[in-house]
Amino acid sequence: MENRVQKNMLNVLNEVILEHEYFFQYEDERIASNVYLTSLSCALRKLASLEENGKREALEKNQWLVKETDKAQEIPVLAFDRIAGKLSNGKRSCDMFFYNFQQEAEELHYLAELKNIDKKELLSMLADLGQDGMFNKVSDSVQLIKKELEFGGSQEHEELVCHTHFFVVYAGKNNVPAQRPIEMPGRRNVSRDKQGKQNRAGRMVTNSEKREREIYDRFGEWILKLGLKACREDLFPGKALPRARKIGQGSSKVRLYSIFSAHDFAEILDHGFFDMWKWGKYEDYFVINTL
């Protein structure tokens, strides 16, 4: 693809190069960032203004991902919300973007949202089509990629979107239902009364898990309509939800999007999935080791 900037497009690479010439008091305000900085629950500028008690609490919350692996400080990424902020168009955006500068064959780009929330809060965001919902962030990010951004590599706009997989990392646990009745801690089998009827606690677990699957399926339908890329588990490994499934006759099992717990995503980082990422001309501009 010819590398040229279209009129009214923000050239992300140029912005990254320009930022490299300036001193930033708060490193999380750069576009060329790292996974840890994009995961912060409290921005460093806001953190600096807090009273001592509030600062300690905010510092602890900011550790939700890096406490799982120090490698979060070492993995470069583009801070997508900083990119969106350059445009001042009021659009919502996701947190980070792995742009594959010289995309080849089955290689993908990755758009991601990082949330220090539990599974119940995550499901609420996935089910919400409003301004604060997850879909709004993804949809606005896709529109920015399609119409307002140039990254300078081999793929741009529509072509870039259809080779991008979306994933979420959150502070909860994938293997635990969002709501578990206190009467049944740690149990999966259904208990029944003397008449053989499933008790209320068992029904609550069943209904909760059914509702959870419905939310995953509906969000997947929305993601599919945006034109983002489903991926096979062998291309993007890890213990993710929702489970891979076929979306067409004769097709391989794929995930339309991926949800990782902080612990499971830390394993992906530690195993080196992003270590040799092809950042191309962005390579020399990233912030690492910022704790």
Q: Say what the pLDDT of residue 181 is.
A: 36
Residue 275: which pLDDT band, with cuts at 50, 70 and 90?
A: very high
For Cα atoms 276, 259, 188, give the angle at the middle one, nearest 5 degrees: 135
Q: Say what the pLDDT of residue 212 is.
A: 93
Residue 8: which pLDDT band, with cuts at 50, 70 and 90?
A: confident
- Nearest partner of 38 among 98, 111, 113, judged by Cα: 113
pTM of the model: 0.87
Measured between alpha carbons, how far is 128 from 219 in angstroms, rounded to an integer?
A: 9
pLDDT tens figures, 145-196: 999 999 999 999 999 999 999 999 999 998 877 654 323 233 344 455 556 5
The residue count of the chain comes to 291
Using the 8-state DSSP alphabet, how is residue 270 labeled? H
32-34 sheet: strands from edge to edge? 32-34, 76-79, 96-98, 109-115, 164-170, 258-261
Q: Which residues contact 173 (CB under 8 A, 6 or more apart)?
A: 119, 261, 263
Measured between alpha carbons, how far is 31 from 38 in angstroms, rounded to an integer?
A: 10
pLDDT tens figures, 100-124: 999 888 899 999 999 999 999 999 9
